[in-house]
Each structure stands twice: as structure tokens, then as C-alpha cells.
Chain A
Amino acid sequence: MELEEIKAVYQQKKSIGYSQDELDSIYHIKQQHGFKVLKTGFSWDLIASIFIATIFIVLLQYLDLRTSVFWSICMAVLVVQHILFYLLQNYFIRKLNTFENNISLSLKESITKLRGLLWFYRLWPAILSTTLYSIYLVQFSPELTIGYILLIGILIAISVAGLSNIVSAVLVRKHYQKLILLKEELESLSD
């Protein structure tokens, strides 16, 4: 069978329309657009991060250090941020997929937007952890040399940003890579 023959058969095929249930369901989605797409469920890595944070907080409270409450709050803030990042991925991906004049342009535009989102995933946890660390320095004035202060600050920022990016940006990164591949494939049509 050649493509022309397939075309002839294809064009004779009748189409199934929308049933009333489908229309109702889709309109229901439209009405609830937004937070419905947040429900992606918890994965093992998210559960692991909550578990580790809980142990960390319990341990801090048990040790009853001068900074225990502060670091417990910081840990809780980081975990909440991590959960939000994780759950918002589907919403962001849909939100940032835009339709431009044609498919090629749509891919380019979406890739640019997703690249920006990935940088946000990389930078925001680092900014947040640096801010929290700065508050700690101002609030508790630890007896540390400037070198140690910088070293600890950089290590905290890098590890929080790295972990957050690896664990909470999984879907965005996958989607981004897929769009890049599609763009390259589409560009190969122009060769």
C-alpha cells in the first residue's frame, strides 16, 4: 500500500465526535483551570525529603541548641518550597507552552520560557538559602572568620540549589529536553 492509497482509505474514514460526557468533562476542566493540574501525587523523593527534614528538625529540637528553632524553621521553609516547586511543575509546563504563528516558532518560544523556568529552579533555592543564612549571621552573630562564613554560605547555597534542581525540576527538565529534540528534528526537515 502506498501513501496515496492510505490517503484514499483515510479520507473515507468517519470521525467520532464528542459525546456529551466528554464535552461536560472538558468544560469542567476549563472551569477549574489552574489548580486541578497541581495534583501530581507524591513521589518517593518528595517523601524522602520530608522524612529527612522531619528527622533534622526533631534532632535539632532534641539537641536544644541556641539556633535550634531558627534552623528548624529554615528547614521547614525549604521543604515547603520544595513541595511547591514539585507540585507546580505540571502547571508551569502548561502555562509556558504557548502557541505562536507556527509549530517551529511555538517550540522555540516554549523552549526559551522553559529555559527561564529552569534557571528560576536553579537560582531561587540558592537565593532563599543565602537569605536565610544571612538572617542567621545577623541574628546570632556567630564567632566565625569571614572565610568560614563565606565557605559555609556557598556550600549551603550550592547544596540546596543542586538538590532542589535535581529533585523538584524533574518534569520541567524532561519536557525541556524533549522540546529541544523536537526542535532539532523539525529543523532537520529544512536541511
Chain B
Amino acid sequence: MSTLTRTRRERPTTTTPTPRRRGTFPIGKVLGYLTLIVFAIIYIYPFLIQIATSVKTNQDATQTPLSLVPNPFTTTAFDRLLDTDFPLWFFNSATVAIIVTAGRVFFDSLAGYALARIKFRGRSALFTGLLAVMAVPGVVLLIPKFLVLNQIGMYDTHPALWMPLLADAAGVFIMKQFFESVNPSIEEAARIDGAGTFRIFWSVVLPMAKPALITLTILSFQGSWNELSHFIVATQSTDLFTLTKGVASLTSGQLGSGNQFPITMGAALLMTIPVAIVFIVFQKKFVAGANEGGVKG
């Protein structure tokens, strides 16, 4: 766009355009689209195969893995999934995701606000500690998490699924960064009006923090919905299987073995849907919110 205007200014006489750099024949654009389309196929086709396979018969799935047309169309895979513990897994995942998301959003913004705006002794030490904790790779924590849950008698209970996940240093960090970017004058005005710290936080700061809160909500929901390793080490009874753990057991268990791909693809599809919805719904808001925050900050 700007290139075009400038080009016109530079070359007032309409000469034959040199196509490669600044001309009207858009070879660059065509190549750009071609690349985009090739990669879009690489990225989208696996999901299409997943959807198509989930409504195929076992035989059809094995024989025509590339075909997107089920022949014949059947919902056997989903019927059989419903006979398993799949609904229970789904319920467990949903419960855990909701609790973790709500808890994280609240606790992280509280702590983030305090670290950004409230002066208290040991604040910077605490923040340094937070950064150190964030640097600990999650996989290193598998055994430690089991040990502490085992020690306090929480292993293989429902709270074991979600309580350790409420601890989230990265979320605190995100909120702290955000609160520091907000102009403090509004809070000062509220304070002069006589509002207390929590009141300022709750009714002045949090509403302004919408973009960051949305980010944190998405991250928390997605993170807890997709979590696998924590559930592996925190519980063992089948009552407490979440979707990730349950569906992963399909591959090694009775159903996933051999060529029963429609079932595993159906399970994969169903567990992807909630995250996909959140992702699609929030994406626009997310972009808009981020821009809004940028203007404000």
C-alpha cells in the first residue's frame, strides 16, 4: 500500500512495471498465497482426516486413510465411546478446568496486583522467587508433586487433580506485567475518594484488566483441559481419569489397539471441541482486547 503510493511518487511516468519488486503483476502475492495454501493444507488436513475417520468403519479407516468421504457413514465409534467411561472423563476434565481457571484468574490477579502496586517488605525478594520458580521445568516436578500429595494424604483424591494446578507463577507474572503498564492515576483518584485496597483492586483495577484477564482465562482453561502429566502422577483410580488420561489409555488399552482408529479419532475430536470453541470465540475478543489495552496503556 504505502509502497504503491511511494512508487507513484518516485516514478511519475508510467513505465513498464518490474514485476518482482514493485509492479502491478503480483508474482510475489501469488507465491505468497501458494505457500499459504500449501501450509494450510498441511495444517488442516490432519484435522479433516480426524473428523472423517471418526465416522468411518474400522475397515474403511484402515483401507482409505487419506479419503475424507466416509463410506459408509457410521456413528458406531461415538456409540461405543459413550459405552466407555468417556462421559465421566469429560465431566472430570470440565470440573477441573473450571475450578483451575476460576482459581488462577482470581489468585494470580490478586498476587500480580500486589507485586505491581502495593509496597510491602520482601516484595522484590518474593518476585525474584517467583521468577526462579517459573524457571523450573515442569517435567522435573512430576516426582515432587507425587511426593507432596502422597505425604499430605491427598494422592488419588479429587482435590489432587486441581489444587496443585492453582499454583501458577506464570499467571502472576502476566498480571503483574499488565498492572504495571496501567496508568496509576485512576487508582490514585479512587484512593483519594476513599476506596480501600481491595475495593480499588476489585472495582477499578480488575475491570481495566479485561484484556489480561481474558488472556489468563484462555491460558488457564486450555492448560488445565490439556494437562496430562500432572494427572498421571496425582491420581490412579479410574474414577478420577480425566479426558487426557482416559483417552491416552485408549491407545494402550483394549479399544485403541489394532485398527480401531475411528474410536480414537472420535475421542480425539470430542476432546478437541471445547478448546476449539474457546479458541474461536475468544480469538477476536483477544485481538481486540489486546489492542484496546495497548491504547490505554
Chains A and B belong together in one complex: no
